[in-house]
Amino acid sequence: MKNLVIMKNRQAVTTSLQVADTFGKNHRDVLRAIDDLKDVRNFAQMFLEASLPDSYGRDRRGYYMNRDGFSLLAMGFTGKTALEFKMDYIEAFNAMESQASLPMTPEEKLMLVMENANRANERLTGVEERMDDFESNQKLDPGQYAEISHGVGRAVNDYIQTHHLQLTRDQRSALYKDINGGLNYVCGVGSRTQIRQKDHDRAIKYIHDWEPTTATKMMMQQAELPLEV
């Protein structure tokens, strides 16, 4: 058997695809077995999730694993044939690790530095993306929520005063329902308390530009209240 173990970042590793092929297992089953180990201490030091090319050159979800990761995974593989394959892997790891102990050439050192820098950049990009997602989905702070709440009340009162309206409680409630419904719609939420910080400026602009819908105005006309249409 060839290429049971490869060298990656000066460490002897194998892949989930290679393990599945060697032991005659479905790759999905190998992935499931590895995923079930995620709660094991030091999992990240033994396994690295990555996109791996299959025999057709298609990228597939998979894992790199070092000797410890392989040993942990292979504990569940039983039978005489499985034992023989485990011995083959042990020999392959030994041979590859002996090569890793040899002095590095200048080119190998440069490649290692570049690979480490790329991995660091990938991790940093991932952290930044998660932070951006976290910040964009944060809900309004108390000050922002109070600003929007006061803005809603002021917009309704300004409209009533501008049009010299005398409203009952139900009719005033209809105006609040109108402005709040539109506000929730433009911010993509179910209630004002769910508005996110990224939509704060949009909410303020909506409140500033708000006018009752035609339906709300017609309801007030039907109540025979003086309202401009």
pLDDT tens for the chain, 229 residues: list them.
457 888 787 788 899 999 999 889 999 999 999 999 999 988 999 999 999 988 788 899 999 999 889 988 988 888 877 788 888 888 888 877 776 555 556 665 566 567 666 666 666 665 566 656 666 678 888 889 999 999 999 999 998 888 888 888 888 899 999 999 999 999 999 988 899 888 999 999 999 999 999 988 877 665 444 444 4
pLDDT at 229: 43
Write down the H helix ranges in 12-60: 16-23, 27-35, 43-46
| pTM of the full structure | 0.43
**Are the CB atoms for 97 and 12 separated by under 8 Å?**
yes
At a CB cut-off of 8 Å and minimum separation 6, what does 166 contact? 225, 226
| CA 77 to chain centroid | 33
**Are the CB atoms for 58 and 64 separated by under 8 Å?**
no
Write down the H helix ranges in the chain: 16-23, 27-35, 43-46, 67-74, 80-100, 106-136, 142-162, 169-187, 200-209, 214-222
- Cα dihedral angle (73, 76, 80, 84), rounded to 10 degrees? 0
pLDDT at 89: 87
pLDDT at 128: 62
Query: Which of 122, 83, 95 lies closest to 14, judged by CA?
Result: 95
pLDDT at 28: 94
- Cα dihedral angle (184, 166, 218, 182), rounded to 10 degrees? -10
- Cα dihedral angle (139, 144, 150, 154), rounded to 10 degrees? -100
At a CB cut-off of 8 Å and minimum separation 6, what does 60 contact? 17, 27, 51, 52, 53, 54
**Are the CB atoms for 132 and 126 separated by under 8 Å?**
no
**Are the CB atoms for 159 and 213 separated by under 8 Å?**
no
d(CA 126, CA 134): 12
pLDDT at 122: 67
